């Protein structure tokens, strides 16, 4: 498809993408938009001008603080909107010949503020990268038995804190908590000294099931609307002291950061690839067919304050041992009901090489291998003033679909 819109060659937001997000500026209070190149395109303007008249949408559907009402229309409607936008952006379309509408609907990205795209009723974090789980098990337990006995039998996960998920460009404060020095008999209290990022993806559910009704691996994609980049911030020293016996708490719930554009499952369909072989064979409710992993290139950079950024990680979503169909099937097999807007993070995405490890815990190997920064400093974990930037895109046969970035600056702990 060739668009009449002038977009940069390496943009994540091509005519093959058509993501959805929420923007605001001095003139508009919370409208649903899509992105093409460096443009943010107000869908309410297009709707008012009749460009979706045969899709049968509510009059004010794009005047919303969150995407939830739009997603709740169902995939038949949301896909119809996406496909209509693609037609409008193709050369020779009616929108190309309508400069008045274009002038009102097309906004420069630097002139708007992107907001948290969905109201998130619930948040779950999985632990689905075998490389990451093996690395962590090797560091903290027996290297010969790095994986716990249940790991290859089910997608391990825990319920996290939805209220502290924030959108890109939202700074976070260094968290405080209890930290236990191994040489001491009792813990101390103070700011974490081991603040870490975790490179993840997260899917968002767009359909609800009734309490008691599981979602099978075959049905799972009917329930998944799209994806965002996800930075699962972690305070490693707080986490290691608190997590026995019930798992992560203050070491995780202080903040998670996401990218502002939700890329639909349909846009990522061409980039599906085979999942890794799973041995031993999984139980019947986790068996799936077809390609369910995604070839999405991921990277993480650290930018010290008043300096340039350095890329410290190159990974890929295709490395995940447990795929999204299995994650949702396991999540609901006990009858758990899901809500529109629920967010499900993948767990840290690490690959087979040291350059593909998705956290500072692994990249610095528990603080023993410092990473040099452009300003002459080094990092084993994240410092105050650092900005962590995650980017992701899929590329195949010249077609690019990406997520933009999630960018977060770390501020000193509040006194």
Q: Which residues are annotated as a binding site for Mg(2+)?
A: 232, 252, 256
Could you tell me which of 62, 388, 326, 395 has the C-alpha nearest to residue 195?
388
In the DSSP assignment, the letter for residue 323 is: -
Q: Which residues are annotated as a binding site for Ca(2+)?
A: 125, 198, 200, 232
Q: Which residues are annotated as a binding site?
A: 125, 127, 141, 198, 200, 232, 239, 243, 252, 256, 348
Provide DSSP, 59-74.
TTTTS-SSSHHHHTT-
b (16+ CB within 10 A) / e for 123-140: bbbbbbbbbbbebbbbee
| Phi–psi pair at 326, nearest 5 degrees | -70, -40
Provide DSSP, 161-185.
-GGGEEETT--EEPPEEEE--TTSS
Q: Which residues are annotated as a binding site for substrate?
A: 127, 141, 239, 243, 348
Q: Where are the alpha helices (DSSP H) in 119-261?
A: 130-140, 236-242
In this structure, what token pair is assigned to residue 179? 């930290």
CB-based contacts of 46: which residues, under 8 Å, 6+ apart? 52, 85, 88, 95, 101, 105
Q: Is 132 a catalytic residue?
A: yes
CB-based contacts of 299: which residues, under 8 Å, 6+ apart? 311, 313, 314, 315, 390, 391, 392
Could you tell me which residues are beta bridge partners of residue 20? 262
In this structure, what token pair is assigned to residue 23? 């923007």
* Per annotation, catalytic residue among 132, 330, 331, 393: 132
Catalytic residues: 132
């Amino acid at each position: 498809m060739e668009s009449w819109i002038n977009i940069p060659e390496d943009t994540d937001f091509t005519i093959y993408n058509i993501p959805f997000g929420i923007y605001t500026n001095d003139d508009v209070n919370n409208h649903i938009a899509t992105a093409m190149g460096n443009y943010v395109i107000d869908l309410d303007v297009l709707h008012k001008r009749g460009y979706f008249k045969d899709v049968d949408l509510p009059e004010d559907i794009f005047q919303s603080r969150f995407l939830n009402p739009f997603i709740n229309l169902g995939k038949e409607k949301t896909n119809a909107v996406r496909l209509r936008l693609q037609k409008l952006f193709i050369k020779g379309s009616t929108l190309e010949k309508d400069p008045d509408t274009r002038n009102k609907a097309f906004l420069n990205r630097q002139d708007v503020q992107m907001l948290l795209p969905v109201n998130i009723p619930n948040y779950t974090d999985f632990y689905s990268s075998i490389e990451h789980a093996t690395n962590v098990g090797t560091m903290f337990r027996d290297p010969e038995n790095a994986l716990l006995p249940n790991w290859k039998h089910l997608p391990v996960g825990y319920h996290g804190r939805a209220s502290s998920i924030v959108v890109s460009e939202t700074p976070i404060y260094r968290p405080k908590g209890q930290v236990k020095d191994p040489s001491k008999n009792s813990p101390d209290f103070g700011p974490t000294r081991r603040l870490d990022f975790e490179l993840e993806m997260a899917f968002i559910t767009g359909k609800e099931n009734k309490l008691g009704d599981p979602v099978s691996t075959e049905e799972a994609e009917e329930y998944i609307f799209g994806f965002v980049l996800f930075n699962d911030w972690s305070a490693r020293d707080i986490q290691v002291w608190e997590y026995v016996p019930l798992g992560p708490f203050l070491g995780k719930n202080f903040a998670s950061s996401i990218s502002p554009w939700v890329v639909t499952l349909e846009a990522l369909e061409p980039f599906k690839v085979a999942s890794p072989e799973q041995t031993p064979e999984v139980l019947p409710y986790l068996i799936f067919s077809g390609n369910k992993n995604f070839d999405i290139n991921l990277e993480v950079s650290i930018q010290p304050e008043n300096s340039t950024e350095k890329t410290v990680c190159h990974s890929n979503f295709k490395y995940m041992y447990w795929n999204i169909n299995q994650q949702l099937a396991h999540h609901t097999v006990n009858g758990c009901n899901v809500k529109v807007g629920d967010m499900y993070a993948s767990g840290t995405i690490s690959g087979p090489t040291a350059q593909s490890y998705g956290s500072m815990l692994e990249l610095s190997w528990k603080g023993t291998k410092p990473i040099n920064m452009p300003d002459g400093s080094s990092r084993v974990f994240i410092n105050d003033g650092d900005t962590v930037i995650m980017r992701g895109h899929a590329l195949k046969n010249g077609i690019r679909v990406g997520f933009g970035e999630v960018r977060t600056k770390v501020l000193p702990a509040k006194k």
